[in-house]
A = this chain, B = another copy of it.
Amino acid sequence: MTTPLRKDAARNWDRIVAVARALIDQGTPLQLNDVAGRAGVGVGTVYRHFATPEALLETVATPCLEALVDHGRQALTGADPWRALECFLFRTVEAQVADASLSPVAAAATDALPRTTQLKEALRSVGTALLGRARDAGAVRPDLTSADLVPLMCGIAYAVHVHGGTPADRIDTAHRYLATLLEGLHATPEHA
């Protein structure tokens, strides 16, 4: 797809992405000059590889988005439609809580990289499919649309963020919050 990079270029690319990863994990805002300094490369090198901070952020987020899409596709093969949706949403929230690069990418209205647009589209489409199966099985509130999935997952992740705590706590909180929401999403007798 993309032309393979020269060996030295690839090394710099890796360094830059690794530095960005670390900065994001620390919550430090991504500044390309700063990234360059920490990666031990010139500013120009960073700009050559990543035209904007968003492009770098999305690059950092890409593997995680890919994993989510893969997982969602596998979930589609599961027997229990509700279970499959539930499982997909858990993964989605966990990923956002564990990886700070995802939330801003998920919430952004426009993408810097085409690859990101593809992945977000793929994610939406997997979500739509999982939701459709669950709805057909009568397992889900009828007023929930596929356009709500991403916002709700972002909201849960944000709630976890506001709650705070150690990384381990956050995972726990995420599970509790999502479980609660899912209970509300699940079709109940009164919707029958």
| CB of A109 within 8 Å of the partner chain | yes
Q: Which of A148, A152, A155, A163 has the most chain B CB atoms closer than 10 A to its own CB?
A: A155
Check A122 for interface membership: any CB of B closer than 8 A: no
Q: Does A64 contact B (CB under 8 A)?
A: no
A119 within 8 A of B: no
Chain B neighbourhood of A182, CB < 8 A: 184
CB distance A163 to B151 under 8 Å?
yes
Chain B: minimal CB distance from A100 (Å): 15
A55 to B84, CA, bound (A): 47
Q: Which residues of chain B are within 8 angstroms of A143 by Cβ–Cβ distance?
A: 176
Is residue A192 contacting chain B, with contact meaning CB distance below 8 A? no
Question: Cβ of B152 and Cβ of A159 under 8 Å apart?
Answer: yes
Indicate whether A163 sits within 8 Å of B148 (C-beta atoms), given known contacts A143-B176, A155-B155.
yes
| Also in contact, A160 and B151, with CB within 8 A (given A141-B180, A184-B185) | yes
- Whole-angstrom distance between the alpha carbons of A158 and B185 in the complex? 18
In the complex, the answer to whether A177 meets B163 with C-beta atoms within 8 Å is no
Give the bracket for the number of chain A residues in contact with chain B.
20 to 34
8 A Cβ contacts from A153-192 to B: 154-164, 173, 176-177, 179-185, 188
Q: Is the CB of A180 within 8 A of B147?
A: no
A158's partner among B155, B164, B179, B180 (CB-CB below 8 A) is B155
Residues on A lying within 8 angstroms of B by beta carbon are 106-107, 109, 141, 143-144, 147-148, 150-152, 154-164, 173, 176-177, 179-185, 188
**7 cross-chain pairs, A with B, having the tightest CB-CB distances, nearest first:** A155-B159, A184-B184, A183-B184, A151-B163, A158-B158, A151-B162, A180-B184
